[in-house]
Amino acid sequence: MSKTRKPQVLELTSVEVESEAPLFAEPLDEGQSQTVAAPRGFRWLALFGSAFAGLILLGLTLWAENFVSTLLERQPALGWVALGLLVLAALGLLGFIAKETRAIMRLEKLDDLRDSFQKAYDEDDTPAARKALDQVTAIYRSHPNTAHGRATFEQQRVGVLDAQDLIVIAEESLMAPLDREAVRLVSTSARRVSLVTALSPRALVDIAMVAFQCVTLTRQIAQLYGARPGFLGALKLGRHMMAHLAITGGIAATEGLVSQVLGHSLAARLSTRLGEGVINGLLTARVGIAAIAVTRPMPHIAGNGPTLSEVTRGIAGLGGSNGTKKDET
């Protein structure tokens, strides 16, 4: 038989177990990607474009220098005139580059402000929120549509210490009049495109009308929110808008776009031309909503952004009822 052990006194100490990750991790959202994005490769096309543009610029510079030098030797008077025109052209080019640089920096500033507001709201960071609000009020200091909103915000912000409350008050005071004007611009452009393309006999006219209205609408909304994009800034803004449309699923199927606003039964009764006009108007509205999302300096926190049905009520009215009547047998 084995010997029995004597009782022993054991001293219990608390042991902390550190784990790198919780046992049950929070599930991923349905829209969250579970794969790691592949690294971007070397952009050969960008390298080719930059090098080719540099060669063209060097060639133009050499040609202008030779032209002016030859003209100064043969015709001094005309040579001095050409030299003056060359200096003016150089000044104009420098001014264009400076203007485009400021426009791009302004777009980037709006993007940074939007991210700063979202981060300050999520972290409830009052100093960061006040800093971002000071920058927004400085942007809209001379904007006539925000005069009443700025006065209201300055009165309501006194004594408010919570960052989230400050951001909500600022959005309701400063952004509300600009949002209403932006929605009006989008609705007007969408109705205009729908009407013109529905009556137009040529597809080329439809394409030109949609392209012109989208470019004009984007520039108007950008100027409304303080972006003021130039040529290169408009290209950068268009790239942001296309990325936003791709993320939000803005380029939808034709039938889905019509049925979203008008209903299936009404969409089935639309004529071909009217249906094309409605679709073009809806696509224009999508572009306008994307322009609002990428140029607005504050994220939509107090409420949701403009929806497609909100900005296309006039288009839906072209067909009468909203598809509630049943199909006649």
Percent of the chain with pLDDT over 90: 1
Considering 59-73, 130-144, 311-325, the range whose residues carry the highest mean pLDDT is 59-73
User: Residue 327: which of 275, 268, 271, 272 has the closest Cα?
Assistant: 268
Q: Is the pLDDT of residue 300 over 70?
A: yes
pLDDT at 243: 67
In this structure, of 23-27, 213-217, 218-222, 235-239, the range with the lowest mean pLDDT score is 23-27
- 199-204-209 Cα angle (round to 5): 65
Q: Is the pLDDT of residue 222 over 70?
A: yes
For tokens 């942007």, what's the residue? Answer: 139
- Output the average pLDDT for the chain: 73
pLDDT at 317: 52
Average pLDDT over residues 122-140: 86
H or E element that contains 3: none
pLDDT at 271: 56
pLDDT at 23: 34
Average pLDDT over residues 160-173: 84
In this structure, of 70-79, 86-95, 159-168, 251-260, the range with the lowest mean pLDDT score is 251-260
pLDDT at 91: 92
Q: Taking the model in full, what pTM does it have?
A: 0.64
pLDDT band at 55 (very low <50, low <70, confident <90, very high): very high
pLDDT at 244: 59
Q: Is the pLDDT of residue 143 over 60?
A: yes
pLDDT at 308: 77
In this structure, of 119-133, 204-218, 249-263, the range with the lowest mean pLDDT score is 249-263
Which pLDDT tens digit goes with each residue over 6-40? Answer: 555 445 444 444 444 443 334 434 333 333 334 45
The more confident residue out of 90 and 274 is 90
Which pLDDT tens digit goes with each residue over 94-122? Answer: 898 888 888 888 888 888 888 888 888 88
Residue 140 · residue 270 · CB < 8 Å: no
- Taking the mean position of all CA atoms in its chain, how far away is CA 57? 32
The more confident residue out of 253 and 288 is 288
Rounded to the nearest 10 degrees, how much is the dihedral formed by the CA atoms of 231, 232, 236, 239?
A: 70
- 230-290-307 Cα angle (round to 5): 145
For tokens 């349905």, what's the residue? Answer: 30
In this structure, of 96-100, 214-218, 299-303, the range with the lowest mean pLDDT score is 299-303
